[in-house]
Amino acid sequence: MTASSRRTTESSAGTRPGGGPVPLPTPKFASAARSALADTGLRRNLRGATAEARARTSAATAEAADWDALREAGRAIGDATLLNLDVHLEELERGVTGAGGVVHWAVDAAEAREVVTGLVRASGAKEVVKASSATLREIGLDAALARAGVTAYETAIADLVVGVGGDEPSHLLSPALHRDRAEIAELFRRTLPAAADLGDDPAGLAAAARAHLRDRLLRARVAVTGANFLVAETGTPVVLESEGNARMCLSLPDTLITVAGIDKVVPAWADLEVFLQLLPRAAGAGPMTPYAASWPGVTPGDGPRAFHLVLVDNGRTRALADEVGRAALRCVRCSACVNVCPVYERTGGRAYGPVYPGPIGAILTPQLRGVESAADASLPYASTLCGACADVCPVKIDIPGVLVHLRGAVVESRRRRPVPTPELALMRGLAWTMGDARRYETALRRSTRWARLLSRGGRIRRLPGLLGKWTEARDLPAPPAESFRAWWARRRP
Amino acid sequence: MRVALSVACFDDALFPDTGKAVTALLERLGHEVEYPPGQTCCGQVHWTTGYHREAAALARAYAALFEGAAAVVAPSASCAAAVRDSYPRLARAARDPALARAAEGLAVYELTEFLVDVLGVTDVGAYFPHRVTYHPSCQAARVLGVGDRPLRLLRAVRGLDLVELPAAGECCGFGGAFAMKNSDVSVAMVADKVRHVRDTGADVVCAVDNSCLAHIGGALSRLRGGVRTMHLAEILAATGPA
Amino acid sequence: MTGGGSRAEVLRRVREALGGSRGTSPPVPRGYDRTLPEAEAATRADVVALFSERVAANRAAVRHVSADELGTAVAAALWGREVKQIVVPADLPYGWLAELEGVRALADAPALDAEALGAVDGVVTGCAAAVARTGTVILDGGRAQGRRALTAVPGYHLCVVHADQIVGTVPEAVRRLDPSRPLTWISGPSATHAIEMVRVEGGHGPLHLEILVVED
């Protein structure tokens, strides 16, 4: 399957000339997943890459004898942080400001875009380098910079692949995971000037990407990055990475703009001893990622002369208000849940909407955006509740529990509609029937008779109505003439 | 010991043999089985689909029905998980502390937990001369944490040739409402599960959840898979030459 | 400073979201290892050995030298990599480079511009601390380490670690470091998982990391 045909099946944010991004109607998870399922090449790539990532995470976490104690500490620090978030944010601000940085606050994506665009414009730069960050994608920065006449260059290799391929990222940490080496080689040969003879060896492909991006990184005057953690006590942002592009972004340009959600705060410097162990291992990078960098505002003679930290809400306080759902704000974006999810493995990331894929996306996106749209409301249902995600989460987010909780929120929001959905009517009717043993027994006898009429050779091959989805690919056994309770009554009169 | 049998609505209608097998098995082991009248549904489907008000009403009725029973045995891991794991959450969501207390008082066991932990048996005197593989359903393995109890019980069955299921821990794709709302993904998942089942060369695939077995069996049947699905209880209830 | 109204609004939303639970502090259990368990490293020599083992697992080269061999070892390492031109922090101890042959060393004083940094083959530095369990060296811009860009750009990084700088665990390192300095934790050469999630050495940062452990 080619890039262009795949792209047409996916949703993406469009742009209105001179205005903000106009979200095109995003399809519901099931419809978005359908095209991914039909793409056998994509499914092969997903299967191979997620298996690789799962094996690395599993090896790295098995090797730490104190892994469960670290997870428990991570969970508890996360909860304690959220319960005191206002205090920590103010402390963070004092620390950054005291070290020569400037803190900006943005209530939503539009304000975050405006702040960053304004800062870039003030610097006079016509191009900026970016280090891969989901928060930057979330706020839709690139389009806003483009409207301001500024070109933004992604500097992570996977983002380069996504950029030249003209598609949407499909994974938080490995945005080009949906492409295999042959596809990437083909893309590079077509789009990178010095890569016409490139083979498909990953080391060679990485070298070509390095060579292509190096000049941009060396000449950049403004860098925009995300952050993995913001230490409140010391006013210190922390970035973990593997490729070294973020280190160049943090140390070469004159101006550094870091954009981070308010959920990235950790209270104390000493808390890093937990998260610097949890994140690398859960992400499958081994005991430690190749690089971890922290910096205090501005350091004379070392790195940028101006540092701006943009703190973004954009729905996080909405999630914070939900006592159950707020656990999602503990997320450290390791992607372990994504790599282990059997649903993600078959659909890829784009079915989950534009930014946060996999199980964490299924609980984060509906909280950041609400469940009013059909697409956002479909996300909590994009899971079998198998629980593999909760088992690997380094901060012990009970993802299945939050999914069920959010399903409740979806149903409550639908109850307020003047006309009940067919599902609501069905489920209420079912509950009414089940509410009384005699009603249940009558219904059981009736539906058994009815179902036996639909069956041939003891199998039902086609069911009508909402249940027809089942028999599209699966038979259902015909109910035996005698139910268990009928047998029991006959046996023990 | 007096055992109260909790039969899932799904099993009552579609898989009555499971409840019959549990009855036969426990009676063979010398226990008294009762089937408290008035059982309907534990509310699991409503809870996991988001119909929390309806689920709370069903949960209250279930808790009242089994209140005071010394041991409730549910041959359905997902129903046992609903009571043990979901009822406390449900009670919190419904702000119903009475339901939380009632749920805490229920002594609900999944069948293999009851056999191994409460009765302390792994050899139940069964005879089943077939090649069998075991699918650890997600509710059994991850929510209840039944671990290797089903395998220990199966290994003690005379004549049974137990074969390991590749990628056993991966979900079969059922997931209740998921099988309808995300039917395409669900079918893709069960296709892989069925492929692994057939790769084992087993005659029978068993589990402690008939919902997962219905899903796997439905796909096997459509593919004319030649592998039978059976609840573990039905294997444990089988006897033959001593 | 911008967004004064937004600052107040975000903080207001946070307080409103937390309601009555705001300000409560559930206990944080810290049952993880603060130091290396005896079984993992009973003696100092075990800690140093673990460090070397983990550096190697991170796909960096590691060698042990005595203090009086250091100059020769640095020269041999650079010669082995066919490095012609290096950049060094202005305060790098002179003795480290005393044996260089055929290698031009540029002191970063005045600071080299990005283009000049991009043109050198390698960099030689010391470090502030090292972590055995993760095979990490940590630079804080202090003595013999220079500014961050020096070790971010060149393709080869030779880092000298004194055995007494090695601590056992991440918690020990975090407590030893000064957060008011720019810190860089380095665990192996740059790497990428961009292609099929397969780890490949060589992202944008140094393609090769070599560590000389100086035993006293």
**Torsion from C-alpha of A145, A146, A151, A156, nearest 10 degrees:** 70
CA distance B24 to A487: 13
| pLDDT over threshold 60, residue A25 | no
The ipTM assigned to this model is 0.97
Which among A409, A411, A483 is the nearest to B51, CB-wise?
A411
**Per-residue confidence (pLDDT) for residue A7, from 0 to 100:** 35
Q: What is the pTM of this model?
A: 0.94
pLDDT digits (tens, 9 = 90+) for A434-448: 999 999 999 999 989
Determine what percent of chain A is predicted with pLDDT higher than 90.
77
For position A459, what pLDDT does the model report?
87
**What mean pLDDT comes out for the span B32-59?**
95
pLDDT, tens only, A38-80? 999 999 999 999 999 999 999 999 999 999 999 999 999 999 9
Q: What is the distance in angstroms between the Cα of A345 and the nearest Cα belonging to chain B?
A: 10
Mutate to test the interface with C, among A252, A262, A395 (most CBs of C within 10 A): A252
A interface test, pick of B5, B11, B12 with most A CB neighbours within 10 Å: B12
Residue A383 falls in which region: left (phi positive, over 0), alpha (psi -120 to 50) or beta: beta
Name the pLDDT band for B242 (thresholds 50, 70, 90).
low
Boundaries of every domain in chain B: 2-118, 131-237
Yes or no: say if C65 and A108 are a contact pair by the CB < 8 Å rule: no
* Per-residue pLDDT, A6: 36
Residue C153 with chain A: CB contacts under 8 Å: 218, 248, 252
User: A-chain residues within 8 Å CB-CB of C188?
Assistant: 290
Amino acid identity, position B191: A
| The domain boundary residue, chosen from A286, A316, A346 | A316
Q: Does C90 touch chain A (CB under 8 A)?
A: no
Pairwise CA distance, residues B121 & B136, whole Å: 20
Residues 95-154 of C with CB under 8 A from A: 111, 114-115, 117-118, 131, 133-136, 141, 147-149, 152-153
pLDDT in tens, A93-107: 999 999 999 999 999
Reported confidence tier of residue A466, pLDDT bands at 50, 70, 90: confident
Q: Give the pLDDT band (50/70/90) at residue A193.
A: confident
Task: Say whether residue B54 is in contact with chain A using an 8 A CB cutoff.
Answer: yes
Residues in chain B closer than 8 A to A440 (CB atoms): 9, 40-41
- Chain A touched by B66 (CB under 8 Å): no
Is A355 within the bounds of a domain?
Answer: no
Chains A and C touch (3+ CB pairs under 8 A): yes
A337, part of any domain: no
To which H or E segment does residue C185 belong?
Answer: strand C183-186
The reply to whether A406 falls in a domain is: no
Q: Which residues pair with A105 in a beta bridge?
A: A311
Read off the pLDDT of each residue in A171-177 and give the average, rounded to a whole number: 88
* Average pLDDT of every residue of chain B: 95
Q: Which domain holds residue A297?
A: 3-316
The Cα–Cα gap between A263 and A242 comes to 23
Average pLDDT over residues A214-241: 97
Domain end position, chosen among A267, A284, A316: A316
**pLDDT the model gives residue A11:** 35
Q: Which of residues 153-212 of B touch A (CB under 8 A)?
A: 169-171, 173-190
Residue A291, classed as helix, strand or coil, is strand
Q: What is the DSSP string of A181-232?
A: HHHHHHHHHHH-TT-TT--S-HHHHHHHHHHHHHHHHHH-SEEEE--SEEET
User: Does A340 reside within a domain?
Assistant: no
Tokens of A444: 């059981």
Which tens digits make up the pLDDT trace of A302-352? Answer: 999 999 999 999 999 999 999 999 999 999 999 999 999 999 999 999 899
Cα–Cα dist A403/B176, whole Å: 14
Residue A473 and residue A491: Cα distance in Å, rounded? 37
Q: Do B184 and A407 touch (CB under 8 A)?
A: no
pLDDT at A22: 42
For all residues of chain A together, what is the average pLDDT?
91
Q: Is the pLDDT of residue A198 over 50?
A: yes
Which candidate from A209, A243, A294 shows the least CB-CB separation from C205? Answer: A243
Chain C residues whose CB is inside 8 A of the A219 CB are: 114-115
Q: Is A216 a member of any domain?
A: yes
For residue A70, the domain's CATH number is 3.40.50.10420
- Partnered with residue A48 across adjacent β-strands are none
| Subunit partners of chain C (3 or more CB pairs within 8 A) | A
Q: Which CATH number applies to B131-237: 2.40.160, 1.10.10, 3.40.50, 1.10.3110?
A: 3.40.50
Residues within 8 A of A (CB atoms), C 43-62 only: 54, 57-58
Same domain, residue pair A308 and A441: no
Is C24 at the interface with chain A, CB within 8 A? yes
Mean pLDDT on A258-279? 98
The residue that leads in pLDDT, A87 or C197, is A87
pLDDT (0 to 100) of residue C206: 96
Which pair of tokens denotes residue C96?
Answer: 């480290």
Of all residues in chain A, the one with the smallest CA distance to C37 is: A65
Is A373 contained in some domain? no
Last residue of a domain, one of A283, A316, A349: A316
- Judged by a CB distance cut-off of 8 A, whether residue A408 touches chain B is yes
Per CB-CB distance under 8 Å, the chain A contacts of C57 are: 286
**Token output for A451:** 């179902």
- pLDDT, tens digit, 9 for 90 and up, residues A385-414: 999 999 999 999 999 999 999 999 999 999
How high is the pLDDT of residue A18? 37
Is residue A422 included in any domain, yes or no? no
| Smallest Cα distance from B59 to chain A, Å | 10
Which residue among B9, B16, B182 sits closest to A482, beta carbon to beta carbon? B16
Task: Classify B160 as helix, strand or coil.
Answer: coil
d(CA A148, CA A284): 38
C205 touches chain A (CB under 8 A): yes
C157 in contact with chain A, both atoms CB, cutoff 8 A: no
Beta carbons of C29 and A65 less than 8 Å apart? no
Judged by CB atoms closer than 8 Å, whether chains meet at C194 and A161 is answered as: yes
* pLDDT (0 to 100) of residue C3: 56
Does residue A408 lie in a domain region? no
pLDDT of residue A493: 60
Total domains present in chain A: 2
User: What was the pLDDT predicted at A169?
Assistant: 87
User: pLDDT tens digits for B97-108?
Assistant: 999 999 999 999
CB-CB neighbors (< 8 A) of A428 in chain B: 51, 54
Which stretch of A24-33, C32-41, C103-112 has the lowest confidence by average pLDDT?
A24-33
Chains C and B touch (3+ CB pairs under 8 A): no
* The predicted structure's pLDDT at residue C73: 97
Q: Inform me whether the C-beta atom of residue A413 falls under 8 Å from chain B C-beta atoms.
A: no
Structural domains of chain C, with CATH: 40-215 (3.40.50.10420)
